Amino acid sequence: MSQLDVIVIGLGGAGSSAVAHLASGGAKVLGLEQFPAGHALGSSHGKTRIYRTSYSEGPEYVPLVQRAQVLWNELQRSTSVPIIRKTGGLFLGSPASPLIAGALRSAERWSLQHERLSAADVRERYPQFRVQDQDVAVWDAEAGAVFPENCMAAYAAQATAAGAELHYGEPVVSWAASEGAVDVRTRAGEYRARSLVVTSGSWTPSLFPDLALPLRIERQLVAWFSPSDRTSVRPDRMPVFLWDLGGDREKYGLPDFGDGVKIGSWGGTVIPRPEAADRTVHDSEARTAEEFVREHFVGVDPHPRSWTSCLYTMAPDHHFLLGRHPRFDQVVLVSACSGHGYKFTSVLGEIAARLAHGEDPGFDLAPFDPMRFSKSAGKTPPN
């Protein structure tokens, strides 16, 4: 390729969006992905992801998720495959639950359409959920599902149609920044561009060894369950949900989009590196899932019908890492991490494109500063 403007490392959720936004804006872009397109070894496979607006993780996410939703709807208009579907969202827990308090804080701060529900309200409106008398809920009218495999394929197609080159099965071995340029070495060749965007998910620590990013990789499991009553779990009847069960136990799930009711999270095992993920499901994990479904749902067969494993990349404060490299302005790091990033990847690609061009990102990124952990520990970034 002739002189490149931007190289993007990683073509998962955030990377596929970044190449689309960059190429559509006229940049000459190369995307490099270590695995084949549509692989199931990172964080963005598994058919569906929840999006929600009454964001319990913090009101600072709301403008981001609202812009993300606009971009998902735009992508939906460009293709006939499902990209986004609104179902509404139900957040369940005790009145003291951080999930409930956080959702209410965001909803009230941004005047989002929401409702507070009692256990009796939930039983009447959503009899699929077997709630306890002391449970309460928040209803998020704007929540729903996005379909990651379709989103990534649509963004990749948009990028190539706008002239981007996407190389799958080409792992990046190293990168080096110099005055006004970045050199990237892969197993197949060497490339030079003006800027670099790194959206490498669970592999991010290995691409920035000198930054000592305190990211923790977790193997997570999700399972699909057959409905015994198909009508009650249809997306027009059943909302996406998050359920705080107390004691740091939280489950989430989505209605039946054709593969059964999807419920996570199981597993949660910390692993030293992505390649160490155990992809088998153990009997004890299957039993825990069965017990949970039996106790908490009506009209769902508790025996899991299928499973997948997936990777979380956890920051210590459970927020994202998003911003410029501490020493090289032309290097942008986007880690849609901490297990809740997919819904944002449309807007993260747009932000990455602006940062790569040296523009204002359009959002306050201070809470997501990639170097916030070393700053708070009083350390200076390495030279």
CB of 134 to ligand FAD, least distance (A): 26
Token pair listed for 35: 């695995």
- Report the residue from 29, 50, 122, 355 that binds ligand FAD according to the rule CB under 6 A: 50
268 contributes a contact to ligand FAD by CB under 6 A: no
42 contributes a contact to ligand FAD by CB under 6 A: yes
Give the residue from 179, 165, 189, 154 showing the smallest Cα distance to 71: 154
Instruction: Return d(Cα 45, Cα 149) in angstroms, integer.
Output: 6
326 contributes a contact to ligand FAD by CB under 6 A: no
- Report the residue from 4, 21, 24, 49 that binds ligand FAD according to the rule CB under 6 A: 49
> Which parts of the chain are beta strand (E)?
4-9, 29-32, 49-51, 84-86, 89-93, 114-118, 136-140, 144-146, 165-167, 172-178, 181-186, 190-198, 216-227, 240-246, 249-254, 261-271, 300-314, 321-324, 331-335
Cβ atoms within 10 Å, residue 90: 26
182 contributes a contact to ligand FAD by CB under 6 A: no
Instruction: Return d(Cα 275, Cα 296) in angstroms, integer.
Output: 34
336 contributes a contact to ligand FAD by CB under 6 A: yes
106 contributes a contact to ligand FAD by CB under 6 A: no
Beta strands at 84-86 and 181-186: parallel, antiparallel or unpaired: unpaired
Cβ atoms within 10 Å, residue 111: 7
- Report the residue from 144, 341, 349, 370 that binds ligand FAD according to the rule CB under 6 A: 341
Instruction: Return d(Cα 318, Cα 211) in angstroms, integer.
Output: 18
Instruction: Return d(Cα 89, Cα 52) in angstroms, integer.
Output: 7
Token pair listed for 138: 């928040």
90 contributes a contact to ligand FAD by CB under 6 A: no
Q: Which positions from 199 through 218 interact with ligand FAD, judged by CB under 6 A?
A: 199-201, 203, 207
Dihedral sign computed on CA atoms, order 77, 82, 85, 91: negative
To which residue do tokens 């704007």 refer? 142
34 contributes a contact to ligand FAD by CB under 6 A: yes
143 contributes a contact to ligand FAD by CB under 6 A: no
- Taking residues 228 to 267 in sequence order and writing x for each that binds ligand FAD by CB under 6 A, - otherwise, the string is ------------------------------------x---
197 contributes a contact to ligand FAD by CB under 6 A: no
- Report the residue from 4, 7, 15, 223 that binds ligand FAD according to the rule CB under 6 A: 15
- Report the residue from 310, 315, 352, 371 that binds ligand FAD according to the rule CB under 6 A: 310
76 contributes a contact to ligand FAD by CB under 6 A: no
Beta strands at 172-178 and 114-118: parallel, antiparallel or unpaired: unpaired
- Report the residue from 7, 29, 30, 43 that binds ligand FAD according to the rule CB under 6 A: 43
10 contributes a contact to ligand FAD by CB under 6 A: yes
Beta strands at 29-32 and 49-51: parallel, antiparallel or unpaired: unpaired
- Single out the segment in contact with ligand FAD by CB under 6 A; choices: 55-63, 112-120, 196-204, 297-305: 196-204
222 contributes a contact to ligand FAD by CB under 6 A: yes
- Single out the segment in contact with ligand FAD by CB under 6 A; choices: 7-15, 104-112, 136-144, 282-290: 7-15
Rank residues 80 and 183 by Cβ distance to ligand FAD and give the closer one: 183
70: CB partners within 8 A, 6+ apart: none
Residue nearest to ligand FAD (CB): 12
121: CB partners within 8 A, 6+ apart: 137
Interface ranges with ligand FAD (CB under 6 A): 9-15, 32-35, 42-44, 46, 49-50, 171-172, 199-201, 203, 207, 220, 222, 264, 310-312, 335-337, 339-343, 345
